[in-house]
Amino acid sequence: MTATPWAEEAAATRAPQVNELALRIATVNGTGSSSANNLLMRAIFRMGIPVSGKNIFPSNIQGLPTWYEIRVSGAGHTARARNPDLLVAMNTQTRERDVAAVRPGGCVLWDSTSPLERAGERGDVTLLGIPIARMCAEEFHNPRERILLQNVVYAGAVTALLGIDPAVTATLIDERYRRRPRLGEANRRAFRIGEEYARQHFPCPLPCHVEPMQATGGSIIVDGNTATALGCIYAGATVAAWYPITPSTSVMDAFTAFARRSRRDPMTGLSTCMIVQAEDELASIGTVIGAGWAGARAFTATSGPGLSLMQALLGLAYYTEIPAVVFDVQRAGPSTGMPTRTQQADLLAAAHASHGDTAHILLFPGDPAECFDFAVRAFDLAEHFQTPVLVLSDTDIGMNDWVVPRLRWDDTYAPDRGRVLGAAEVEAAGEYHRYADADADGVAARTLPGVSPAAAYYTRGSGHNRLAGYTEDPDEYREVVDRLARKHAAAGGWVPEPVIEARPGASVGLVTLGSGGPAVREAVEMLRAQGVAADCMRLRGYPFPEAVFRFLEGHAFCFVVEQNRDAQLRTLLLESGAGSERLGSVLLYGGEPITAGEVSDAVLVQLRRREE
Amino acid sequence: MPSIAKPPIRHPALPVNELGLAERDYEGAMSTLCAGCGHDAVTAAIVRALWEVAVPPHMVVKLSGIGCSAKTTAYFLRGAHGFNGVHGRMAPLATGVGAANSDLLLIGISGDGDSLSIGIGHLVHLIRRNLRMIYVIENNGVYGLTKGQLSASADVGSTSSKGTPGVIQPVDPMLLGLSLGATFLARGFSGDKAQLVPILKAATAHRGLALIDVISPCVSFNDHEGSTKSYRFTREHDVQVTTTDFVEPRPELLTAIGPVGITDLTLHDGTRVRARALPEGYDPGDRDAVGAYLREAHDRGEVATGILYVDPSRPTLHELLRVVPRPLAGLPYADLCPGAAELERFGES
């Protein structure tokens, strides 16, 4: 792909429209901007307009640059936008670069308390100066408040500039500070200061602004990690073990909070699940495997470095056939990498986690709603196939606010606990052998400890035969591992089907997964405007279902759009039988959520090259 | 790990326990360890102890890591589920099993390599969590399956089978446990079944983690002159700090206990364990004194054995995390799912 500097590509950006705009807020982390940013996003959402929020933040507690981006799209595009129409430039460290990215004709709101240093050489943007720090210093006496409320001042100004309904923001502030009235009053004052200043000094609203719609009915705002945790609650998980790691930590924070509410034994008030904060990721996956072996639905949440540490035990669970659910919220690797940045670079490490011949079942949720659904499916698949299931989301899905359809639950759902024999069945059969009598999918019945002496067996990660006995015999060894391969292949019929959007006559296919979905769908529209008819397919599970290969075969050329350097998804497709001649790559791996423009540019460049 | 099944036939006249089971019913497959291996004697002590306390075999879970010690879980209690995992990770697997089903009695068999080197981090945190479990370290100071490298428990100066002396300070699991707030610490010797069986029986009644360090000589790689983990050295330097009389949980017996020099340990189910202190004034409830005694004994070249320390008062993992004392794995799904109506209320709209 070609990496175009923001300023250059800005010229190509569309003209401003109502309900089609991007707002970028540049601040310093640790200054408390997130609640103000959140207020703006939620206010737009409550006006019925499709919106998305992306937090691009540093791996740091305080003092480094951080951005919050709000994409407003009446057309429903939720991918990150490349060039903001309005920049709130609160961070002098990054101001030059931030201003350079603004769309020509766009606006920059800045704190004019201190004289403006070079704001970039831009004659084509409008500077809107507000003496934010000075007004806060005059209005508030508490030094901490003077800093915090600066965020609320710009939120007030943005509300006026973008035409956000002030009644909605007022309601949101009331809701947030219902229990802290004094703080609520300070927030309302700060908000008013910003709003009034903007109305008095600038033409409000700006040409690009919002107007109420009715497009968010039946939707909610949620991040993927919260939805994942909720899915685990609904799936009936009773054991969770974890080691804190960005960006997955909020999965367990949310699970703990939900469990506190809905997992109380009514008689005793004691918890009906155990959450173990382990000493490391080896211990977390070990605990999950032990619990799964003993019959509990158990899970862990981690990210790349944690997944690396779990390898040996994931191999154990694969070979001894123990259900386990792992949520890998991927971040930018290798090594520590960029912990708060997003990537899809754990695909191969997850698919083949551990030494020896191993292959795992993977699920790729594309948004928080799928995080919820796939969490439940992950437990079903893990117990059905008696094997680890790894659910791969990423920082973008896990930690950003997405607008998704309200989560639904079917009360007739019954968990698939897989083939588990009880005491009566085992005793009636007279004889039980762990890995004998596999079904058509290669799954043999297991038993749980504590059931019956007749159900006992010996689980070993060393070579074993179908009777679960130790073996070094080539035929006995192969019999078991060949069945494991059959079992894995069978899972291709059980993982979620890909989401395919096809139109007649399209010869180009865009293939993606996870958080790549919104940008790729938008790119399809951009390509159509350029005369290229393309279909798109978002993969949702591995091993790949048949439909994946039919799509690839049905197009003259496909691009696999993924967020890693080494084309890992393409590798996995090739390894699974796809032909390499007609499969190209669009690799976007800088660590920030991808944009449709990057995808369509890369596709156009490659198509042109192919024509030459 | 090769294992050979034993025929399940038994003589009708064999004595049986309260469950009507013979001691043979607590055995497992034939051992494939070296003839004279200390581990086989530990296995025999476990069989005897579990038979005597009449634990239902299927309510036990046997856990192990990797190594000679790990193999032994196949050699007892064929009626129990066994889990031979990966090297050093027995403690996390056990934590998961215990979390899922608190009704099970967990018995973990580990070695000095498994517990004091590769898995020491997990052992540390298992002790902190006080999971209900019997954790046996079959301690021989050497890596057997890889043919004789000194382990982290080898004493300074103790030689390997090739004559190389240990130069790095050893890890003493008892002192480690003491510093971490372990609630049951005992040391035995595979050559003294009479002492080990009551220790194991007391451990079955302990509510938290019972950590038992058993000096279990390796006949192939660490039983030579110059080793401090040999049969001969251990016999000559064994100092029994306490002798243990396991007392069944029957109230009438309790009144009979209490002479001077005897410590009664009341475990959570009412079981009393009588530990008779041999060195004058040894008190297995005095953490500081026990620590000082063990350090001095080690410096004197003694191997202090017996129930060394017990604190039955500390809460277990389930109590610490305020989790229901029923098996989580057995909770009905209907009690776990909040349902569609609850989900309707979730999220801002």
The CATH homologous superfamily to which domain B23-344 belongs is Thiamin diphosphate (ThDP)-binding fold, Pyr/PP domains (3.40.50.970)
Binned at pLDDT 50, 70 and 90, residue A67 comes out as very high
Residue pair A419/A443 in contact by the 8 Å Cβ criterion: yes
Which residues of A, range 233-292, sit inside 8 Å of B by Cβ? 233-234, 236, 238-239, 241, 262-263, 265, 268, 270-276, 278-280, 282-292
Residue among B230, B239, B233 at smallest CA distance from B38: B230
**Can you tell me the distance from the alpha carbon of A435 to that of B11, in angstroms, rounded to the nearest whole number?**
32
Residue pair A411/B339 in contact by the 8 Å Cβ criterion: yes
Whether pLDDT at A403 is above 80: yes
Facing B2 at nearest CB: one of A292, A459, A470: A470
Q: Which residues of A touch B343 (CB under 8 A)?
A: 230, 234, 407-409
CA distances for B303 relative to A605, B140, B148, B186, angstroms: 76, 13, 22, 12
* pLDDT digit string, tens, across residues A146-178: 999 999 999 999 999 999 999 999 999 999 999
ipTM of the complex: 0.94
B349 vs A314, residue with greater confidence: A314
Å between A79 CA and nearest CA of chain B = 20
Binned at pLDDT 50, 70 and 90, residue B257 comes out as very low
pLDDT of residue A369: 98
- Contact status of B53 with chain A (Cβ, < 8 Å): no
What residue type is assigned to position A452 of the chain?
A: S
**Can you tell me the distance from the alpha carbon of A134 to that of A117, in angstroms, rounded to the nearest whole number?**
17
* pLDDT digit string, tens, across residues B269-307: 666 666 666 777 788 889 999 999 999 988 888 888 999
- Displacement of CA B115 from its chain's centroid (Å): 12
Whether pLDDT at A300 is above 70: yes
pLDDT of residue B282: 83
- Do the Cβ atoms of B329 and A287 come within 8 Å? no
CA closest to A320 among chain B residues: B85
- Displacement of CA A424 from its chain's centroid (Å): 44
* pLDDT digit string, tens, across residues B313-343: 999 999 999 999 999 999 999 999 999 999 9
**Can you tell me the distance from the alpha carbon of A389 to that of B92, in angstroms, rounded to the nearest whole number?**
19
Residue pair A251/A225 in contact by the 8 Å Cβ criterion: yes
What is the maximum span of chain A, computed from C-alpha positions, in angstroms? 87
- Do the Cβ atoms of B322 and A270 come within 8 Å? yes
| First-last CA distance in chain B | 59
Å between A282 CA and nearest CA of chain B = 8
Residue reference for tokens 């939707």? A219
pLDDT of residue B348: 65
Residue reference for tokens 């196939």? A385
Whether pLDDT at B7 is above 70: no
Mean pLDDT throughout B106-117?
Answer: 97
Whether pLDDT at A5 is above 80: no
**Sign, Cα dihedral of A232, A234, A239, A244:** positive
Phi-psi region of B150 (alpha: psi -120 to 50; beta: other; left: phi over 0): beta
- Do the Cβ atoms of B81 and A456 come within 8 Å? yes
Neighbours of A566 (CB within 10 A): 14
- Displacement of CA B89 from its chain's centroid (Å): 15
Whether pLDDT at B349 is above 80: no
- Do the Cβ atoms of B340 and A222 come within 8 Å? no
Whether pLDDT at A18 is above 60: yes
Percent of the residues in chain A that have a pLDDT greater than 90, as a whole number: 91
**Can you tell me the distance from the alpha carbon of A455 to that of B58, in angstroms, rounded to the nearest whole number?**
8
* pLDDT digit string, tens, across residues A416-438: 999 999 999 999 998 999 999 99
Å between B70 CA and nearest CA of chain A = 10
Whether pLDDT at B20 is above 60: yes
- Do the Cβ atoms of A290 and B3 come within 8 Å? no
Topology alike, domains A6-201 and A499-611? no
- Contact status of B3 with chain A (Cβ, < 8 Å): yes
Residue pair B46/B76 in contact by the 8 Å Cβ criterion: yes
CA closest to A449 among chain B residues: B81
- Do the Cβ atoms of A286 and B57 come within 8 Å? no
**Can you tell me the distance from the alpha carbon of A174 to that of A367, in angstroms, rounded to the nearest whole number?**
30
Whether pLDDT at B266 is above 70: no
Q: Which residues of A touch B349 (CB under 8 A)?
A: 216-220, 406
CA closest to B76 among chain A residues: A458
Q: Which residues of B touch A286 (CB under 8 A)?
A: 85, 89, 91-93, 95-96, 122
**Can you tell me the distance from the alpha carbon of B155 to that of B162, in angstroms, rounded to the nearest whole number?**
15
State the fold for domain A6-201. Answer: Pyruvate-ferredoxin Oxidoreductase; domain 3 (3.40.920)
Mean pLDDT throughout A80-106?
Answer: 94
Q: Which residues of A touch B324 (CB under 8 A)?
A: 265, 268, 270-272
What residue type is assigned to position A42 of the chain?
A: R
pLDDT of residue B298: 87
Whether pLDDT at B268 is above 80: no
Q: Which residues of B touch A410 (CB under 8 A)?
A: 340
Residue pair A328/A349 in contact by the 8 Å Cβ criterion: no
3-class secondary structure, B142: strand
Facing A407 at nearest CB: one of B91, B336, B347: B347
- Secondary structure in 3-state letters for A120-141: CCCCCCEEEEECHHHHHHHHCC
**Can you tell me the distance from the alpha carbon of A461 to that of A316, in angstroms, rounded to the nearest whole number?**
6
CA closest to B131 among chain A residues: A276
Q: Which residues of A touch B58 (CB under 8 A)?
A: 449-453, 455-456
Residue reference for tokens 């498994």? B114
**Which two structure tokens, joined as six digits, stand for B256?**
């009979």
pLDDT of residue A543: 98
Facing A287 at nearest CB: one of B78, B83, B96: B96
- Contact status of A473 with chain B (Cβ, < 8 Å): no
Angle, helices B120-129 vs B173-180, to 10°: value is 40
- Contact status of A408 with chain B (Cβ, < 8 Å): yes
Å between B268 CA and nearest CA of chain A = 20
Q: Which residues of A touch B322 (CB under 8 A)?
A: 270-271
- Contact status of B122 with chain A (Cβ, < 8 Å): yes
- Do the Cβ atoms of B331 and A238 come within 8 Å? yes
3-class secondary structure, B36: coil
- Do the Cβ atoms of B89 and A448 come within 8 Å? no
Looking at A452-513, list the stretches that DSSP marks H as alpha helix, in order from N- to C-terminal side.
474-491
pLDDT of residue B250: 38
Looking at A202-248, list the stretches that DSSP marks H as alpha helix, in order from N- to C-terminal side.
224-235
b/e burial code for range A428-443 (CB count within 10 A of at least 16 → b): eeeebebbeebeebbb
Beta-carbon contacts of A127 under 8 Å, excluding residues fewer than 6 positions away, are A107, A108, A110, A116, A119
Q: Which residues of B touch A294 (CB under 8 A)?
A: 61, 96-97, 100-101, 104, 329
CA distances for A589 relative to A2, A246, A280, A409, A465, angstroms: 12, 18, 28, 35, 44
Whether pLDDT at A47 is above 70: yes
- Judged by average pLDDT, the poorest of A121-130, A165-174, A319-328, B272-281 is B272-281
Which residues of B, range 312-341, sit inside 8 Å of A by Cβ? 317-318, 321-325, 327-331, 333, 335-340
The CA-based angle B7-B13-B15, given to 5 degrees, is 90
Q: Domain map of chain A by residue range?
A: 6-201, 222-405, 420-471, 499-611
For residue A558, list its beta bridge partners.
A509, A583
Facing B92 at nearest CB: one of A220, A283, A408: A283
- Do the Cβ atoms of A286 and B100 come within 8 Å? no
Q: Which residues of A touch B93 (CB under 8 A)?
A: 286-287, 289-290, 293
Residue pair A206/A20 in contact by the 8 Å Cβ criterion: no
Q: Are strands A541-542 and A583-587 parallel, antiparallel or unpaired?
A: unpaired
Q: Does domain A222-405 have CATH number 3.40.50.970?
A: yes
On the CB side of B176, CA atoms within 13 Å amount to 22
**Can you tell me the distance from the alpha carbon of A600 to that of B11, in angstroms, rounded to the nearest whole number?**
81
pLDDT of residue A422: 96
Can you give the pTM of this predicted structure?
0.94
Whether pLDDT at A188 is above 80: yes
- Do the Cβ atoms of B348 and A447 come within 8 Å? no
Residue reference for tokens 């004392």? B325
- Do the Cβ atoms of A409 and B340 come within 8 Å? yes
**Can you tell me the distance from the alpha carbon of A147 to that of A27, in angstroms, rounded to the nearest whole number?**
12
The CA-based angle A402-A169-A140, given to 5 degrees, is 115
**Which two structure tokens, joined as six digits, stand for B94?**
């056990």
Q: Domain map of chain B by residue range?
A: 23-344
Does residue A474 have a cis peptide bond before it, meaning omega lies within 30 degrees of 0? no
b/e burial code for range A218-228 (CB count within 10 A of at least 16 → b): ebbbbbbbbbb
Query: How large is the C-alpha radius of gyration of chain B?
Result: 21
Residue pair B58/A455 in contact by the 8 Å Cβ criterion: yes
- Secondary structure in 3-state letters for A459-472: EECCCECCCCCECC
pLDDT of residue B271: 66
Whether pLDDT at B100 is above 90: yes
Which of B58, B73, B78 to mutate to probe the A interface, most A CBs <10 Å? B58
- Contact status of A43 with chain B (Cβ, < 8 Å): no
**Can you tell me the distance from the alpha carbon of A107 to that of A126, in angstroms, rounded to the nearest whole number?**
5
| First-last CA distance in chain A | 17
* pLDDT digit string, tens, across residues A495-536: 999 999 999 889 999 999 999 999 999 999 999 999 999 999
Percent of the residues in chain B that have a pLDDT greater than 70, as a whole number: 87
Residue pair B180/B124 in contact by the 8 Å Cβ criterion: yes
Which of B337, B344, B345 to mutate to probe the A interface, most A CBs <10 Å? B337
Å between B296 CA and nearest CA of chain A = 32
b/e burial code for range A191-211 (CB count within 10 A of at least 16 → b): bbbbbebbbeebebbbebbbe
Four-CA torsion B18, B22, B23, B26, nearest 10 degrees = -90
The CATH code that applies to domain A499-611 is 3.40.50.920
- Contact status of B91 with chain A (Cβ, < 8 Å): yes
- Do the Cβ atoms of A289 and B96 come within 8 Å? yes
